[in-house]
């Protein structure tokens, strides 16, 4: 039996485009001699559909699309994911399911049992877990079909009390197929391979796993679909961050060594870079936008975002706005101009001194006798926010936010100023990682000026200002933030690692009192195991660690 894995980029709720793409790849798989072509979890509607699932019309459109796909499953079968109605009154109204389509019909339905409700997942909000399991017979082979999380209950600390494969194995299947929507993080590819390999080895069956690619607002899918033999050895690996379709001979997976090539594994920074490019591209393409605007300060954060945007959208579609203040250094303006010239993007210079002076005049009586402080600094940041939003309104540009994860974590940013934007490009990238990204972007030629990379970071909102005036050095700050955010370590546990107590308490307090700001930031492209946004839910008025 020849099995095609179709790793595609879907668009949530775009039934016409998704259906067309699936049908095209059924035809492609057929030309390549496949007997069965496998698509991803909820491929029909896109993942995650969230509260679209609460609309009956949405579910009806899913079924209509699947029926259209079925018409093209003649002389070839396919497996495709979609939500289906639960006919039992008790429980949730839907199942997260997969259709097995053959001979122009729905021949079998498999329902997902293990419904993740953690981090970015919220499936139990919508779906009823399956309790009955049955293999699918096709061309003399018995298929144990599961959906994503159904194979993830295999570690030393299982999250669920049972596993679907423990039931399906009783029917003596010949192979496993798992369809997934497995979001990207720069640590997830290794974890994914480890978990799936353990399944193949435990049940002593070859395993075919298909993921999807593409970005759905903040969630990015990296592809990397996989094939394992019955010993758990990785036999094949599809592309990362790109659509792909490959056909595999079931007998060759077991009997032929090194038949299928593996793509070169990317470093963490390479993965983050490619994920952010894909995230920008899909946010714009799927939202119907084409042109971006951002504030370009001469600092490293905006420089990296500008470079990423130009690669993702084309330099002709990116407007960089330089907004020097009376505190901006000459080299900052020159660094920003050098970047714009290196990369070829559009740019405008709009000084903010006149606007800041006007606010000083308007507020003179109210602020009489009071020294210059954070209020005046934030006015300058908000003037900049107003300018780039005006450019967005006037020309139809979409504003890119340039705040990094370190700043987002400790609240080092101005609401309605530098924290505004439609999408946060590097809000899940620590400052130390931003420097690594800049060096990677410059690997072939100098795009980001070297001075931008080596100079001390500064907001330039008061004389001789540096980030280190307000924050610990980033190499220390980021390590403590990683322990707290990604590894969920509290004060005592971090101090026990040797970090100074006062410093740890100060940093964790800043993280927690800045929660109100993060509630008002744009969605952030997720590249780490724990990003700000829907995957990290904290109360604003909580007292813990404050």
Which of 62, 78, 148, 420 is labelled catalytic?
148
Query: By the 8 A CB rule, do 43 and 29 touch?
Result: no
Cα–Cα distance measured from residue 360 to residue 111, given in angstroms and rounded to the nearest whole number: 63
- Find residue 292's DSSP bridge partners: 318, 398
Which of 2, 21, 111, 112 is labelled catalytic?
112
Q: Is 299 annotated as a binding residue?
A: yes
Cα–Cα distance measured from residue 262 to residue 486, given in angstroms and rounded to the nearest whole number: 30
Q: Is 148 a catalytic residue?
A: yes
Question: Which DSSP string corresponds to 129-165?
Answer: PP-----EEETTEEEEEEEGGGG---SSS-SSS--HH
CB burial of 397-426 (b: ≥16 within 10 Å; e: otherwise) equals: bbbbbbbbbbbbbbbbbbbebbbbbbbbbb
Tokens 């903010």 -> residue: 352
Question: Which DSSP string corresponds to 523-546?
Answer: PB---SSS-SBTTB---SS--TT-
Q: Is 298 annotated as a binding residue?
A: yes
Please enumerate in sequence order all residues whose Cβ is within 8 A of that of 292, keeping only pairs 6 or more positions apart, or say none.
Answer: 280, 284, 309, 313, 317, 318, 319, 397, 398, 399, 400
Query: By the 8 A CB rule, do 310 and 344 touch?
Result: yes
Q: Which of 345, 304, 305, 295 is nearest to 325 (CA)?
A: 295
Query: Checking DSSP bridges between strand 244-249 and strand 2-7, what pairing results, if any?
Result: antiparallel
CB burial of 265-299 (b: ≥16 within 10 Å; e: otherwise) equals: ebeebbbbbbbbbbbbbbbbbbeebebbbbbbbbb
Q: Is 517 annotated as a binding residue?
A: yes
DSSP three-state, residue 39: coil
Query: By the 8 A CB rule, do 158 and 501 touch?
Result: no
Q: Is 302 annotated as a binding residue?
A: yes
Q: Is 118 annotated as a binding residue?
A: yes
Q: Is 300 annotated as a binding residue?
A: yes
Q: Is 258 annotated as a binding residue?
A: no
How far is residue 501 from each of residues 62, 492, 496, measured CA to CA in Å? Answer: 55, 8, 9
- Find residue 94's DSSP bridge partners: 85, 127
- Find residue 246's DSSP bridge partners: 5
Q: Is 426 annotated as a binding residue?
A: no
Q: Is 458 annotated as a binding residue?
A: no
Q: Is 500 a catalytic residue?
A: no
Which of 2, 41, 237, 345 is labelled catalytic?
41
Q: Strand (E) positions, 238-337?
A: 244-249, 292-295, 318-322
* Catalytic residue IDs: 41, 112, 148
Binding site residue list for ATP: 295-302, 402
Known binding site for deamido-NAD(+): residues? 378, 407, 517
| Residues placed in the known binding site | 118, 182, 295-302, 378, 402, 407, 517
């Amino acid at each position: 039996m020849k099995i095609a894995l179709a790793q595609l980029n879907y668009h949530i709720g775009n039934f016409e485009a998704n259906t067309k793409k699936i049908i095209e790849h059924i035809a492609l798989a057929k030309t390549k001699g496949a007997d069965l072509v496998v698509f991803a979890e909820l491929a029909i509607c896109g993942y995650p559909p969230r509260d679209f699932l609460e609309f009956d019309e949405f579910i009806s459109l899913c079924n209509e699309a699947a029926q259209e796909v079925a018409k093209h499953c003649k002389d070839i079968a396919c497996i495709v994911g979609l939500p289906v109605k639960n006919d039992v009154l008790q429980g949730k109204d839907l199942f997260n399911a997969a259709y097995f389509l053959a001979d122009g019909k729905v021949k079998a339905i498999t329902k997902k049992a293990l419904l993740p409700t953690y981090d970015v997942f919220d499936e139990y909000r919508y779906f009823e877990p399956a309790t009955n399991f049955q293999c699918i017979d096709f061309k003399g082979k018995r298929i144990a079909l599961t959906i994503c999380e159904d194979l993830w209950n295999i570690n030393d600390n299982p999250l669920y009390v049972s596993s679907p494969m423990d039931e399906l194995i009783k029917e003596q299947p010949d192979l496993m197929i798992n369809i997934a929507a497995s979001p990207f993080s720069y640590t997830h590819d290794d974890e994914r391979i480890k978990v799936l390999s353990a399944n193949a080895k435990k049940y002593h069956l070859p395993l075919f796993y298909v993921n999807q690619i593409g970005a759905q607002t903040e969630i990015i899918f990296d592809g990397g679909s996989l094939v394992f033999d019955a010993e758990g050895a990785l036999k094949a690996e599809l592309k990362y961050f790109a659509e792909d379709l490959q056909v595999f001979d079931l007998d060759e997976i077991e009997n032929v060594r090194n038949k299928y090539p593996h793509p070169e594994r990317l470093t963490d920074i390479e993965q983050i870079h490619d994920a952010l490019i894909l995230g920008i591209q899909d946010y714009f393409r799927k939202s119907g936008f084409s042109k971006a605007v951002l504030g370009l300060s001469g600092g490293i954060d905006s420089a990296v975002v500008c470079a990423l945007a130009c690669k993702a959208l084309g330099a002709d579609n990116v407007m960089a706005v330089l907004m020097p203040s009376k505190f901006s250094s000459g080299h900052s303006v020159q660094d920003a101009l050098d970047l714009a010239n290196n990369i070829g993007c559009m740019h405008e210079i709009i000084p903010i001194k006149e606007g800041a002076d006007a606010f000083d005049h308007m507020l003179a009586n109210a602020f009489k006798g009071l020294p210059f402080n954070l209020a005046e600094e934030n006015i300058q940041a908000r003037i900049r926010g107003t300018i780039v939003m005006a450019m967005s309104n006037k020309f139809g540009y979409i504003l890119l936010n340039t705040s990094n994860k370190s700043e987002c974590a400790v609240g080092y940013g101005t609401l309605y100023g530098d924290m505004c934007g439609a999408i946060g490009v590097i809000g899940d990238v620590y400052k130390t990682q931003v420097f690594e990204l800049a060096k990677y972007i410059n690997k072939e030629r100098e795009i980001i000026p070297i001075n931008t990379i080596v100079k001390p970071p500064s907001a330039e909102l008061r004389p001789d200002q540096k980030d280190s005036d307000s924050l610990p050095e980033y190499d220390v700050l980021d390590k403590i933030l990683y322990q707290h955010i990604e590894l969920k370590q509290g004060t005592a546990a971090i101090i026990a690692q040797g970090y100074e107590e006062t410093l740890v308490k100060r940093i964790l307090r800043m993280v927690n009192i800045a929660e109100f700001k993060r509630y008002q930031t744009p969605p952030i492209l997720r590249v780490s195991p724990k990003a700000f946004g829907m995957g990290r839910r904290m109360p604003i008025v909580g007292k813990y660690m404050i």
